[in-house]
A and B are shown apart, each in its own frame.
Chain A
Amino acid sequence: MSIDQLWQERAREFWSVSRRYITLMANSGLMVAIGGIVLIIGIYYNSFLDWLPSTFPVVQVLAVLFAFMLTKTSVRTFFQTGDLVYLLPMEAKMNHYLQSALRYSWFMQSIVLALVLFLLGPLYTDRIGEFNQLLITFLILIAAKGWNVFAYWSELRYQYVSQQWKLRWLRFAVNLVFVFFVFMLEWLFVLAVGVVMILLLFGYYRPLHEKYRLKWDQLISLEEERLNSFYTFANAFVDVPHIKARVRRRSILSNQWNRLVTKRSNTYVFLYGKTFARSGDYFGIMIRLAIVGALLIYATPEDLQGLAVVIAILFTYITGSQLVTIYHHHKTMVWPELYPVPEQVRQQSVQSLVRNVMVIQSIWFTIITFITSWSIFYSMIALFMMLLMVIAYVKVQLPKWFKQSLRALS
């Protein structure tokens, strides 16, 4: 395989893997989520336009939004760790490969631009200009995206990230002025800024390619980050085996467990508490369920309050049943097996964490029912039933679950 075909080969590989994930995601809730969002937008769009006061600075907001979208650029190089050894000697012959990468990135990011512009189309024709002008705006934005992809790619030649960021802010400023004129329909100024941008392209960005070499390390880690963020997104819908949840410090939350007394019975309260707070999976799922459950309760019609009670109980239950897998989180670790701490203590710690999180979720849903102006009676019924379920789950279901998992292990 020649180096010129390599990029196509890698892009194809990436898409065949992605397609499989996208199919899986589509089967497990992504389509429902997208459909739901589109439906909500469709229902509320017109009333949103009517509601939006005429003094609202539409042009300024759109200018900032699109300047941001133009500036935030990426280049899919499909570089891999091994390339540091195998492609490095080919650097001089990689023009074709890299052009493919730039073209592809331009195309993909233009699609995103087009989608957002399409969504904002009604707002544009309502407040800014004609449909024809929208079309011209679209073409100009695509061209500007191309400029940004090339400029960004040139910025990456600088060794220091701080230098790159300086240039990125500068680029944002240029984009902001440019887009502002586009939405002001000041075509002459657009042309003037456009000429400046072209001059920059040839006078400043292009020469960087002669002056500096590719920064392979950075490009490879950027590519890894991008792949990871795709898999992390996919992981929200389907189980991606090789994705490791990123650990975040989350000081305010995780410091709560610093107040524990340093003694044996707290060993697993500490370990699982910190894990809950910092590992992306658990706290994130709790928050997502809290938001989705709250929206559903809020949206339930008034005469169906019984259904909302069921929803509240169901979402509290799901919160617990998702969280309990934290028990297996450290199963590849040798330490829990070596600690002189009885297994029972470990199970109790998991139980109390699950219970506390479920109770917090119950209280949150009860607060939502108050906001939704339920009768106090129904709110109290909901709270009571949720707490009853929590007790049943933690006291009856969990011990069985522990026994089963231990049997499965041995």
Chain B
Amino acid sequence: MTQLLHVQSVSGGYNPNKPVIKKVEFGVERGEIVGLIGLNGAGKSTTIKHILGLLEPTDGAITLNGKTIADDLDTYRQAMSFIPETPILYDELTLWEHLRLTAMAYDLTDWEERAESLLKTYRMAKMKHWFPSNFSKGMRQKVMIMCAFLVKPELYVVDEPFLGLDPVGIQSLLDQMVEMKNSGAGILMSTHILTTAEKYCDRFVLLHHGTVYLKGTLAELRTQANMPNAGLDEIYVEMTKEDDR
């Protein structure tokens, strides 16, 4: 069976002469959560944009189930959903209509029951027919999360999802990620909340200045950084110190 997501030596960015990411290489298997860790400006968002197919790599390739986006655009898109760092909502649609539009776009069947239970999980049932202009940042983020989980894709691409979420929201999100992982989905999550990442991610990719600095399980990171017993945050801080010298 081919790897779910494979980022093969990808270079790219907004200017061909100044690539933001250089020869980035990692993968996401089915049934695992991979943490994408790095400082502001390390290239996390650019990497994610390449995976989503919003940018085209100047070098290398990205395959999902062994196929690039050029092979089959719509199959590629169908297989993943995205939770953005800043919630992006249609001003013209109510919460329920966001879910319904998602169901249409991904051709979902039997979605209504699942949508209702998501509304309950995230305590948004009361706001079903509200417009986004009445939502707080956390509520908007919840709409994004619900839309992503409604699709139930093979791959989740999650960009810094915890900001602005209330504790119930954070716990529900983590529980749901674990549930999806156990049912065979792969999850790529970029975050700065390292204690959470350490607890929930199976493997890590540490990006620095657009290159993969370290990658592997926590144990592997410890060996590579030569810091036995260190936590993810300590390795992370050590990594940025390197830079100051």
A and B associate in one complex: yes
- Chain A positions within 8 Å of B, measured between CB atoms, are 244, 247, 249, 260, 262-264, 266-267, 270-271, 274-275, 278-279, 330, 333-335, 337-342
Quick one: which of B74, B88, B103 contacts A262, CB cutoff 8 A?
B103
A279 to B133, CA, bound (A): 13
* Residues A267 and B104 in contact, CB atoms below 8 Å apart: yes
* Residues A340 and B77 in contact, CB atoms below 8 Å apart: yes
Within 8 A of A (CB), among B135-182: none
Binds A, one of B93-101, B200-208, B221-229: B93-101
A-B contact pairs, 13 of them (CB 8 A): A249-B131, A260-B104, A263-B107, A270-B104, A271-B101, A274-B92, A278-B92, A279-B91, A335-B88, A339-B77, A340-B75, A340-B107, A342-B73
* Residues A338 and B52 in contact, CB atoms below 8 Å apart: yes
B26 sits at the interface (CB 8 A): no
* Residues B88 and A264 in contact, CB atoms below 8 Å apart: no
Task: From A260, A330, A333, A341, name the one whose CB has the most chain B CB atoms within 10 angstroms.
Answer: A341
Contact A264 B105, CB 8 Å, known A247-B92, A278-B92, A340-B75 = yes
Task: From B73, B82, B104, name the one whose CB has the most chain A CB atoms within 10 angstroms.
Answer: B104
Residue of B nearest to A343 (CB): B73
Min CB distance, A265 to chain B, in Å? Answer: 8
* Residues B84 and A334 in contact, CB atoms below 8 Å apart: yes
For B91, what are the chain A residues with a Cβ–Cβ distance below 8 Å?
Answer: 244, 247, 279
A260 to B104, CA, bound (A): 10
* Residues A340 and B92 in contact, CB atoms below 8 Å apart: no
* Residues B100 and A270 in contact, CB atoms below 8 Å apart: yes
Min CB distance, A48 to chain B, in Å? Answer: 42
| 10 interchain residue pairs of minimum CB distance | A340-B77, A340-B78, A339-B105, A267-B104, A264-B107, A340-B74, A278-B92, A267-B105, A275-B92, A247-B91
B236 sits at the interface (CB 8 A): no
Min CB distance, B7 to chain A, in Å? Answer: 18
B90 sits at the interface (CB 8 A): yes
Min CB distance, A343 to chain B, in Å? Answer: 9
B70 sits at the interface (CB 8 A): no
For A247, what are the chain B residues with a Cβ–Cβ distance below 8 Å?
Answer: 91-92, 131, 133
* Residues A271 and B103 in contact, CB atoms below 8 Å apart: no
A387 to B69, CA, bound (A): 41
A339 to B53, CA, bound (A): 11
For A279, what are the chain B residues with a Cβ–Cβ distance below 8 Å?
Answer: 91-92
* Residues A274 and B82 in contact, CB atoms below 8 Å apart: no
* Residues A274 and B52 in contact, CB atoms below 8 Å apart: no
* Residues A262 and B100 in contact, CB atoms below 8 Å apart: yes
* Residues B52 and A342 in contact, CB atoms below 8 Å apart: no
A333 to B88, CA, bound (A): 7
Within 8 A of A (CB), among B177-216: none
A342 to B88, CA, bound (A): 21
A373 to B104, CA, bound (A): 47
A339 to B133, CA, bound (A): 23
For A330, what are the chain B residues with a Cβ–Cβ distance below 8 Å?
Answer: 90
Quick one: which of B77, B92, B100 contacts A338, CB cutoff 8 A?
B77
Quick one: which of A263, A278, A338 contacts B104, CB cutoff 8 A?
A263
A224 to B126, CA, bound (A): 29
For A263, what are the chain B residues with a Cβ–Cβ distance below 8 Å?
Answer: 104, 107
For B103, what are the chain A residues with a Cβ–Cβ distance below 8 Å?
Answer: 262
Min CB distance, A124 to chain B, in Å? Answer: 45
Min CB distance, B216 to chain A, in Å? Answer: 30
Residue of A nearest to B129 (CB): A249
Contact A266 B104, CB 8 Å, known A274-B97, A340-B77, A342-B74 = yes
A264 to B78, CA, bound (A): 11
* Residues A333 and B90 in contact, CB atoms below 8 Å apart: yes
* Residues A270 and B106 in contact, CB atoms below 8 Å apart: no
For A264, what are the chain B residues with a Cβ–Cβ distance below 8 Å?
Answer: 104-107
* Residues B105 and A341 in contact, CB atoms below 8 Å apart: yes
Task: From A249, A264, A340, name the one whose CB has the most chain B CB atoms within 10 angstroms.
Answer: A340
Quick one: which of B88, B93, B105, B111 contacts A274, CB cutoff 8 A?
B93
* Residues B54 and A337 in contact, CB atoms below 8 Å apart: yes
* Residues B74 and A338 in contact, CB atoms below 8 Å apart: no
Q: Apart from A267-B101, A338-B52, what 5 extra A-B contacts exist at CB < 8 Å?
A: A249-B131, A260-B104, A263-B107, A333-B88, A333-B90
A263 to B100, CA, bound (A): 10
A244 to B52, CA, bound (A): 28
Residue of A nearest to B111 (CB): A262
Task: From A270, A274, A337, A338, name the one whose CB has the most chain B CB atoms within 10 angstroms.
Answer: A338
* Residues B88 and A340 in contact, CB atoms below 8 Å apart: no
* Residues A341 and B54 in contact, CB atoms below 8 Å apart: no
For B131, what are the chain A residues with a Cβ–Cβ distance below 8 Å?
Answer: 247, 249
Task: From B78, B107, B131, name the one whose CB has the most chain A CB atoms within 10 angstroms.
Answer: B107
* Residues B90 and A271 in contact, CB atoms below 8 Å apart: yes
Within 8 A of A (CB), among B87-132: 88, 90-93, 97, 100-101, 103-108, 111, 131
A337 to B100, CA, bound (A): 18
A340 to B93, CA, bound (A): 20
> What is the 8 Å Cβ interface bit string for chain B, positions 1-33, against chain A (1 contact, 0 not)?
000000000000000000000000000000000
A340 to B102, CA, bound (A): 10
For A342, what are the chain B residues with a Cβ–Cβ distance below 8 Å?
Answer: 73-74
For A270, what are the chain B residues with a Cβ–Cβ distance below 8 Å?
Answer: 97, 100-101, 104
Quick one: which of B54, B93, B101 contacts A334, CB cutoff 8 A?
B54
Residue of A nearest to B77 (CB): A340
Task: From A244, A270, A275, A330, name the one whose CB has the most chain B CB atoms within 10 angstroms.
Answer: A270
Residue of A nearest to B157 (CB): A338
A270 to B96, CA, bound (A): 13
A263 to B106, CA, bound (A): 8
Task: From B53, B74, B78, B92, name the one whose CB has the most chain A CB atoms within 10 angstroms.
Answer: B92
A334 to B77, CA, bound (A): 13
